Amino acid sequence: MAAELGTLLDQLHELLERHQRILILGHKDADGDTLGCSLAFAEALRDRGKRVQVVIPPPVSSRYAWMPGFSEIAPSVPEDGWSLVLFFDAGNLERSGGSADSIPADAVIVNVDHHTSNSRYGTLNIIDPEASAVGQMCLEMLEHFGWPITPTIAQNLYTALLTDTGGFRHENTDTRALADAARLAALGADPAHVATMVYKSWPLSTVRLSGLAIADIQEDLGGRLAWVRVTRRMLHEAGAVMSESEGIIDTVNTLAGLEVAIVFKEVRARLTKISVRTRGTVDAAALCERFGGGGHQRAAGAEIELPLDLAVSEVLQAAREAVAAAKEA
Ligand SMILES: [Mn+2]
């Protein structure tokens, strides 16, 4: 561990020992990483006698409802004199979905993240872009503190690592990720159970929605660019809600020869969300930043205040330019 990181972890340890009322924030459109870190740290802190509340803005996908501690998540910040706030896996405070507005003005904010685009909004910023998942950073923190890691903590952190590596398929699946996965399994995480709950537990409506969207898949640039739309009409037809569209991008990303995969989600009449995955040299985060979003080089997203059709044409134009620029580079 780098000396600088060791100092940061000592500072965090001191803050956690000193404060009694600790608020934990997960980011909106919650994924396995933000959930796993939040729930693992909540358990670790409760075991140390702390008053803890995990707050994650709804809707939180029910595919994670089996995670230990999930039922204790609150949708908004209850007033309880929180003096320390931990925010996991969020590149900026807006990712709290408004929860940050309810934090007491004098609260200390700890920003624990792995996004290169992180805005360093915390009082203490612990950023490790080399980490495949923030869950790995949490594992290192708990080990650095010498705090016990229970099987349920290990289960939550393993889930963070499994999901942020796309089931150990993304390019961030490196020796550190695999070694940490083995350590978490040794600590009591159950890889087969987590895989079943995360990847083999979709409701019928989710599979139907995926089918409707995928049936209308479009491609361009000889298959280097592919996209699908998830419309309000498809949701109605499948009996699904928009959060069930989360896995569709991974199906688009199974195409051979693909460089940029995009899913357009018609959230409202004038709000379109995009999910982007890239291979080769195209930077997904850079593409999404052009539309006010962000993320990682290989996986990013944005919320665009445009009707679906307009968002599709603007983003596709930018994606074509990005693929062309990547070819020349
Ligand atoms: Mn993450």
Is it the case that residue 162 has pLDDT exceeding 90?
A: yes
303 Cα to the center of ligand 1, angstroms: 18
- When pLDDT is cut at 50, 70 and 90, the band that residue 2 belongs to is low
Average confidence (pLDDT) over 110-137: 96
pLDDT digits (tens, 9 = 90+) for 291-300: 999 988 999 9
Is it the case that residue 210 has pLDDT exceeding 60?
A: yes
Quote the pLDDT of residue 329.
65
Is it the case that residue 140 has pLDDT exceeding 70?
A: yes
Block residue for tokens 């503190």: 145
89 Cα to the center of ligand 1, angstroms: 5
Quote the pLDDT of residue 113.
98
187 Cα to the center of ligand 1, angstroms: 21
User: Is the separation of the CB atoms in 147 and 138 below 8 Å?
Assistant: no
36 Cα to the center of ligand 1, angstroms: 10
User: Is the separation of the CB atoms in 72 and 156 below 8 Å?
Assistant: no
- When pLDDT is cut at 50, 70 and 90, the band that residue 306 belongs to is very high
1 Cα to the center of ligand 1, angstroms: 20
List, in order of start, the domains of the chain with CATH numbers: 3-199 (3.90.1640.10), 204-328 (3.10.310.30)
Using a pLDDT cut of 90, give the percent of the chain over it.
91
Quote the pLDDT of residue 62.
82
257 Cα to the center of ligand 1, angstroms: 26
Average confidence (pLDDT) over 49-66: 94
- When pLDDT is cut at 50, 70 and 90, the band that residue 326 belongs to is confident
Is it the case that residue 328 has pLDDT exceeding 90?
A: no
pTM for the whole structure = 0.87
Quote the pLDDT of residue 201.
92
315 Cα to the center of ligand 1, angstroms: 24
Q: Which residues make Cβ contacts (< 8 Å) with residue 56, sequence separation at least 6?
A: 25, 26, 27, 28, 30, 34, 35, 38, 73, 74, 75
30 Cα to the center of ligand 1, angstroms: 10
Quote the pLDDT of residue 197.
96
